[in-house]
Amino acid sequence: MEFSKVYFLGIGGIGMSALARYFLHEGKLVAGYDRTPSRLTAELEAEGASVHYDDDIRAVPEEFLDPHDTIVVYTPAVPQEHSELRYFREHGFTVEKRSQMLGHLAEGKYVMAVAGTHGKTTTSTLVAWLNRGVTGGGSAFLGGISKNFGGNLVLGSGNRLAVEADEFDRSFLRLFPDVAVITSADADHLDIYGTHEAVKEAFSQFVRQIRPGGALVIKQGVDLQLDNPSIRIYRYAYDTPCDFYARNIRLLEGGYYRFDLVTPGGAVDGCTLGIPGWVNIENAVAACAAVWCAAQADKGGFDADRLREALASFSGVKRRFEFYVNTPRQVYMDDYAHHPRELAATLASVRKMFPGRKVTALFQPHLFTRTRDFYAGFAEALSLADEAVLLPIYPAREEPIPGVVSEIIAERVTVPCRIVGRDRLADEVAAMATDVVVSFGAGNIDACCDALAEKLKAKS
């Protein structure tokens, strides 16, 4: 593809912004549209991209209106009737989905792709960090802001490329990985897939696309049709004996864990992960398994000391089990969880980390369709807390669905539960008798984090 300019529709998305940063680094001219300003769009503008927030072809910089030297990349979250998208399609531009462009950039690389309906962002970021720690190189396109790398794009030496393989809109089927991790294949995005069986079939197709001689690392218990005879298949788990798992797990102060990592080549004793939570130990096992598979393919070593150092120095991902306050009197953390299984897993981790303490869950449902499909599951998960606070549904790309409101979750929660507006959340929570507070959601609840942290820190 020969082009000197890249225009992004949905430039502020976490995956899109990583691509935009890549092309800025490559010296291309970059511009784009997004619905609302954000921290990511502000950073892109500071790095040289031109960004506007009105769906209006007249707002597109003139130099991006020549189809001979401009390629257009869009996210599936942009509606098909978007006027700029229609204009580019009708005027001879090369228009590609984000996943298509990511597939182009992955060509010629040793691709380490992490897929799953949850857990993939932390796991893929860990893969990128372990690549850096163990081999000194590796690049990555990430689905979150890595605290270690300070962003969602990693440019490093060597041929390894870690990517988050997103199942939304079947985007991950544009990838042909050498090593693939599947963390989960739960029912999700049913507005796209229709049924859970269709979700599972897409994951099975993803497995078929692993390159001959490659490897699949799949969580123990995930039930998929695995019919790629040209690859090796490994299972991983938190502490259930299988190909890769953790043993001798010890809870340390502050919710951190020490463990021994068991691999087919032997155990790596005395590992400590730099972020808390048992669910992150499971993610770390998956990431270590992927790096182990890459080392086998390289016919290189799996340096235990470097691996321990990399695990211990991992700082995590913004909005994934992120602590704002952690004192004996008050804890506040924020998490991106937006599926019932994710909420339940995080709350189970919090219970293990802070036994006997009162847990308050704050949750902003994401999408009307997801709420419609999983409201009972959300209620069941939130009932694992001691009390819950719900925000109105964050619509993202969707129009309201009659009768689908946060109240259908709240009325099924079996612990005290209330609904508050986002603008009142910090004050409402500050007035409650809180101990351990966790906020959840993939919408804009994170805009409340600083205010919540300030008020809860004052209480500690």
Whether residue 413 lies inside any domain: the answer is yes
Residue with tokens 């709350």, as numbered in its chain: 347
Q: Do 326 and 437 share a domain, yes or no?
A: yes
- Looking at 242, 277, 312, which one is the last position of a domain? 312
pLDDT for 316-343, tens place per residue? 888 777 889 988 889 999 988 888 988 9
pLDDT above 80: residue 188: no
pLDDT computed for residue 189 by the predictor:
62
Query: What single DSSP character describes residue 358?
Result: -
In this structure, are residues 404 and 371 in contact, taking their beta carbons and an 8 Å threshold?
Answer: yes
Cα 231 to Cα 226: distance, rounded to the nearest angstrom? 10
Percent of the chain with pLDDT over 90: 68
Q: What is the mean pLDDT of the chain?
A: 91
pLDDT of amino acid 190: 64
pLDDT at 43: 93
Q: At what angle do helices 120-135 and 304-312 cross, to 10 degrees?
A: 130
Give me the number of domains the chain comprises. Answer: 3
Closest-CA residue to 143 (of 127, 161, 126, 124):
124
Do 140 and 267 lie in one domain? The reply is yes
Q: What pTM, to 2 d.p., does this model score?
A: 0.78
Domain boundary among 39, 71, 97: 97
The answer to whether residue 130 scores a pLDDT higher than 80 is: yes
Reported as a single tens digit per residue, the pLDDT across 245-257 is 999 999 887 778 9
Residue 260's Cβ-side half-sphere holds a number of Cα atoms within 13 Å equal to 9
Q: In this structure, is residue 102 part of a structural domain?
A: no
Q: Is residue 419 part of a domain?
A: yes
Same domain, 223 and 357: no
Query: Does 317 reside within a domain?
Result: no
Both 255 and 307 in one domain: the answer is: yes
From the centroid of its chain, how far is CA 152?
11
Here the CATH number for the domain that contains residue 18 is 3.40.50.720
Q: What is the residue whose two structure tokens read 């690859």?
A: 231
Q: Which of 312, 339, 364 is the last residue of a domain?
A: 312
Higher pLDDT, 320 or 407: 407
Give the CATH number for residue 451.
Answer: 3.90.190.20
404: containing domain: 322-459
Whether 354 and 276 share a structural domain: no
Q: Which residues pair with 30 in a beta bridge?
A: 6
Instruction: Over range 52-78, report the average pLDDT.
Output: 94
